[in-house]
Amino acid sequence: MSRVCELTGKGPMTGNNVSHAHNKTRRRFLPNLNDVTLISDALGRSFKLRVSAAALRTVDHRGGLDAFLAKAKDAELSTKALKIKKDIAKVQAAA
C-alpha cells in the first residue's frame, strides 16, 4: 500500500534529523493517512479511500466529496478518485 493521499497526491517528503550536536541523518516525513469512507451525494453511494487528514478537512470545508472532486485537478487524483469524478460528472450532466 503506497503512502500517497488519493485525493491530493500528498506523499512522503525527506529531510534531516538534527541532533543537539548538529549531526544530520536522513529521515522521511510521512503524510497522516487514514482509511475513510466518503459518501457521494450525486451517486448515492459510499467509497473507501486512503486520505490525508488535511484532505479530509478540505473535503468537509468544500461541502462534501462531490464539491471537492469538482474543484480538484486531475493530475493530483488517483485512478480510483478520477473514476469517481467522471461518474459524478456524468450523473450531473444528465440531471
Question: Which domains are present in the chain?
Answer: 13-94 (2.30.170.40)
Q: What is the Cα–Cα distance from 51 to 38, expressed in whole angstroms?
A: 10
Q: Is the pTM of this model over 0.85?
A: yes
Do the Cβ atoms of 70 and 60 come closer than 8 Å?
no
Which helix (DSSP H) or strand (DSSP E) does residue 27 occupy? strand 24-29
State residue 9's pLDDT score: 96
pLDDT digits over 17-49, tens only? 999 999 999 999 999 999 999 999 999 999 999
Cell numbers found for residue 50: 486512503
pLDDT confidence of 63, banded at 50, 70, 90? Answer: very high
CA 38 to the chain's CA centroid: 11
